[in-house]
């Protein structure tokens, strides 16, 4: 990829809003752009070797004081970079610190230590300069219960001086156009979640932060939400998604970060995170302890499974026949054998439960 040090290209962005340009990290360039009078001005700086970050967190620590001065460390020395453009999954078990980190980057919580930058502005000091470019859904949505979905969004649009056409756009995007006149209090949990996402995308943000966006949605709604998020990521916006639905995260995210107990465990492109975890064999057999000894004696690495009567053999599909033969020679016959390729759920469980037993 070749870029001039300074260039001007036509662009459809609205005047005054940032250009959306992502330069792959292997180009060794840092790219930044802005839109002015219908054109996008692009400047690059040689030698950085990184892509500009939509969110940059350094040494973040958040400690809550509790009863009798007992302290709870929610975030502990967290470093995180969310690249510009695409969908970024922010994962962790309950209590890992995900929501606290999100609240810190939105200026809703003051960190005990560390720094946060959002769209190249320091939080909280510079947040007013970029808040109109950030949309967010954090925890439970709050709207006027006796007002219709449309009226709630129209009030939001009025505070941001947005045209009525934007309300119609987002109602259509989240699939609420036919229920827009119903009162919010009559909405199901999934419909309330859809309206909250509509509020978050109302200003067509450059950074969209969604905490459990599929909460309360049925399977069709989950699919619609995934497609909506993918569209926003593909358009050049940055979408930061926190979710427990790991299969969905794997389908819609370009990159992920996994945290546990307030610390970053791993981050990177989804394919790279999965690449470090090979396929394995799940063996169902009556004599688990005896089978484990036999397989270990034959040179296999064996792990206990989370299900009684099963064990995990760290081997690929090509070793399945040898595992079966090794057990049969010892007089042990398996009840089942399944090849498990690495997926985000298995990697997540492996990384977040390591050391818990």
What pLDDT sits at residue 69? 65
Contact 57, 79 (CB under 8 A): yes
134 inside domain: yes
Domain tally for the chain?
3
The answer to whether residues 18 and 139 belong to one domain is: no
The answer to whether residues 69 and 28 belong to one domain is: no
42 inside domain: yes
The answer to whether residues 133 and 235 belong to one domain is: yes
**What digits encode the pLDDT tens for the residues 221-253?**
999 999 999 999 999 999 999 998 899 999 999
What pLDDT sits at residue 32? 40
pTM reported for the whole predicted model: 0.74
The answer to whether residues 64 and 107 belong to one domain is: yes
Nearest-angstrom CA–CA distance, 58 and 206: 21
187 inside domain: yes
Nearest-angstrom CA–CA distance, 180 and 191: 10
List helix spans (H) across the chain: 98-105, 127-130, 149-159, 164-173, 189-201, 219-234, 246-252, 270-275, 288-297, 320-329, 344-353
Report CA torsion sign: 269, 270, 273, 279.
negative
The answer to whether residues 110 and 245 belong to one domain is: yes
Residue 313: CATH number of its domain: 3.30.70.100
Paired sense of beta strands 207-211 and 134-137, if any: parallel
What pLDDT sits at residue 316? 82
Nearest-angstrom CA–CA distance, 328 and 291: 10
The answer to whether residues 225 and 196 belong to one domain is: yes
The answer to whether residues 90 and 26 belong to one domain is: no
- Structural domain including 101 reads 53-274
What pLDDT sits at residue 30? 34
The answer to whether residues 247 and 286 belong to one domain is: no
357 inside domain: no
Tens-digit pLDDT profile for the chain (357 aa)? 333 333 333 333 333 334 434 433 333 333 444 333 232 333 333 333 444 799 999 999 999 887 766 888 999 999 999 999 999 999 999 889 999 999 999 999 999 999 999 999 999 999 999 999 999 999 888 899 999 999 999 999 999 899 999 999 999 999 999 999 999 999 999 999 999 999 999 999 999 999 999 888 999 999 999 999 999 999 999 999 999 889 999 999 999 999 999 999 999 999 888 877 777 899 999 999 999 999 999 999 998 888 899 999 988 888 999 999 999 999 999 999 998 887 888 888 888 886 554
351 inside domain: no
The answer to whether residues 12 and 116 belong to one domain is: no
355 inside domain: no
The answer to whether residues 32 and 129 belong to one domain is: no
Task: Return mean pLDDT, the chain.
Answer: 84
What pLDDT sits at residue 139? 81
The answer to whether residues 206 and 59 belong to one domain is: yes
227 inside domain: yes
What pLDDT sits at residue 42? 35
What pLDDT sits at residue 19? 40
The answer to whether residues 224 and 330 belong to one domain is: no
Strand order in the sheet with 29-36: 6-10, 39-46, 29-36
């Amino acid at each position: 990829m070749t870029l001039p040090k300074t260039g001007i290209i036509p662009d459809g962005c609205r005047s005054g809003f940032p250009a959306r340009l992502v330069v792959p990290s292997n180009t060794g360039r840092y790219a930044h752009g802005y839109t002015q009078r219908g054109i996008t001005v692009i400047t690059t700086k040689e030698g950085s070797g990184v892509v500009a970050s939509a969110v940059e967190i350094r040494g973040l620590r958040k400690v809550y004081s509790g009863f009798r001065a007992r302290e709870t460390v929610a975030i502990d020395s967290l470093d995180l970079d969310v690249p510009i453009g695409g969908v970024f999954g922010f994962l962790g078990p309950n209590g890992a610190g995900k929501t606290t980190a999100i609240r810190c980057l939105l200026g809703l919580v003051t960190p005990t230590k560390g720094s946060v930058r959002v769209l190249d502005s320091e939080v909280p000091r510079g947040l007013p300069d970029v808040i109109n470019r950030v949309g967010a859904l954090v925890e439970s949505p709050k709207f006027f219960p006796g007002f219709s979905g449309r009226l709630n969004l129209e009030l939001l649009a009025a505070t941001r001086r947005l045209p009525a056409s934007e309300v119609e756009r987002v109602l259509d995007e989240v699939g609420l156009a036919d229920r827009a006149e119903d009162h919010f209090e009559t909405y199901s949990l999934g419909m309330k979640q859809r309206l909250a996402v509509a509020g978050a995308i109302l200003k067509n943000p450059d950074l969209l932060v969604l905490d459990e966006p599929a909460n309360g949605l049925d399977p069709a709604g989950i699919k619609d939400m995934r497609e909506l998020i993918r569209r926003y990521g593909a358009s050049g916006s940055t979408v930061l998604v926190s979710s427990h639905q790991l299969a969905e995260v794997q389908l819609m995210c370009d990159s992920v970060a996994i945290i546990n107990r307030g610390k970053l465990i791993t981050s990177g492109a989804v394919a790279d995170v999965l690449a470090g975890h090979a396929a394995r064999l799940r063996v169902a057999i009556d004599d688990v302890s005896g089978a484990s000894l036999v397989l270990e004696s034959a040179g296999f690495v064996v792990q206990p499974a989370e299900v009684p009567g099963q064990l995990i053999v760290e081997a690929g599909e090509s070793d399945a026949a040898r595992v079966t033969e090794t057990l049969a020679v010892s007089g042990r016959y398996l009840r089942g054998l399944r090849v498990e390729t690495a997926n985000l759920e298995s990697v997540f469980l492996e990384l977040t439960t390591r050391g818990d037993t």
